[in-house]
C-alpha cells in the first residue's frame, strides 16, 4: 500500500569524520570552499545566473538548503537567496577574517562553508545569503519527478 513519505531528505549517510576523509570525498575546488572557507571568484560559479526551479542541496552532504523561489539576482556574481529552505538548515557564525566582521553561513548538517549573510537583501526578509555555487547542488523539480518510482 501507500507508504507515508516522511521526508524528502536522502537517507542519512555517514558523514566524514576527518578533514582527510572530506578531502577524498570532495573535489579540490569543493574542499577549498566547503572545508577551508574559500570563496569562488564572482561570476564564475555555475549557479550565479540560474533561474531553474528546484531545491539547492549542500554539495558536501546533500542536505536541503535553499529553494529556487528564494533566489534572486543580486548583481554580485554569486547565487543569492533571501532565505534558506528552513531556518534550521543553516548555521550562522561570526567571521572576523580579512579584517571584516561578517556572518558566515554553514550547512547545519555537515558544517560545510556555504558563504556569508548580509543585511542588504530584498523583501520580504531583507537578508542576502551570498553563496558559493560550488557549495551547492541544484536538484531540478523535473528531475525529482522523474526520480519517483511508479
Ligand atoms: Zn552539508
Q: Supply the range of the domain harboring residue 44.
A: 19-141
**Residue pointed to by grid coordinates 560545510:** 112
Domain annotation covers residue 93: yes
Per the prediction, the chain carries an average pLDDT of 90
Half-sphere exposure of 61 (CA within 13 A, CB side): 25
Contact 100, 94 (CB under 8 A): no
Domain annotation covers residue 39: yes
* Ligand 1: centre distance to CA 114 (Å): 9
* Ligand 1: centre distance to CA 17 (Å): 13
pLDDT tens digits for 20-67?
999 999 999 999 999 999 999 999 999 999 999 999 999 999 999 999
Domain annotation covers residue 148: no
Domain annotation covers residue 14: no
Phi, then psi, of 81 in degrees rounded to 5: -130, 150
Contact 57, 63 (CB under 8 A): yes
Domain annotation covers residue 133: yes
Percentage of the chain beyond pLDDT 90 is: 83
Q: How many domains does the structure of the chain reveal?
A: 1
Percentage of the chain beyond pLDDT 70 is: 87
Distance CA 87, CA 95 (A): 19
Domain annotation covers residue 150: no
* Ligand 1: centre distance to CA 2 (Å): 30
Around ion ligand 1, which residues have CB less than 5 A away? 58, 60-61, 63, 107, 109-110, 112
**Residue pointed to by grid coordinates 566547503:** 34
In 26-92, alpha helices (H): 28-34
Domain annotation covers residue 10: no
Q: Reply yes or no on whether the pLDDT at 4 is more than 70.
A: no
Distance CA 97, CA 28 (A): 22
Mean pLDDT of 139-145: 77
Provide the pLDDT for residue 62.
97
Domain annotation covers residue 147: no
Smallest CA-to-CA distance from 131 within 86, 72, 87, 88 is with 72
Answer yes or no: 110 catalytic: no
CATH at 119:
2.170.150.20
Query: Would you place residue 108 in the very low, low, confident or very high pLDDT band (cuts 50, 70, 90)?
Result: very high
Amino acid at each position: 500500500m501507500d507508504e507515508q513519505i516522511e521526508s524528502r531528505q536522502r537517507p542519512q549517510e555517514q558523514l566524514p569524520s576527518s578533514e582527510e576523509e572530506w578531502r577524498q570525498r570532495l573535489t579540490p575546488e569543493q574542499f577549498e570552499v566547503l572545508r577551508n572557507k574559500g570563496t569562488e571568484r564572482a561570476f564564475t560559479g555555475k549557479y550565479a545566473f540560474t533561474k531553474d526551479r528546484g531545491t539547492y542541496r549542500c554539495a558536501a552532504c546533500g542536505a536541503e538548503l535553499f529553494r529556487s523561489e528564494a533566489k534572486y539576482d543580486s548583481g554580485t556574481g554569486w547565487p543569492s537567496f533571501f532565505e534558506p529552505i528552513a531556518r534550521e538548515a543553516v548555521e550562522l557564525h561570526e567571521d572576523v577574517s580579512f579584517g571584516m566582521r561578517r556572518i558566515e553561513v554553514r550547512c547545519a548538517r555537515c558544517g560545510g562553508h556555504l558563504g556569508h549573510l548580509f543585511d542588504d537583501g530584498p523583501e520580504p526578509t531583507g537578508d542576502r545569503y551570498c553563496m558559493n555555487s560550488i557549495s551547492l547542488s541544484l536538484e531540478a523539480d523535473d528531475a525529482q519527478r522523474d526520480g519517483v518510482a511508479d
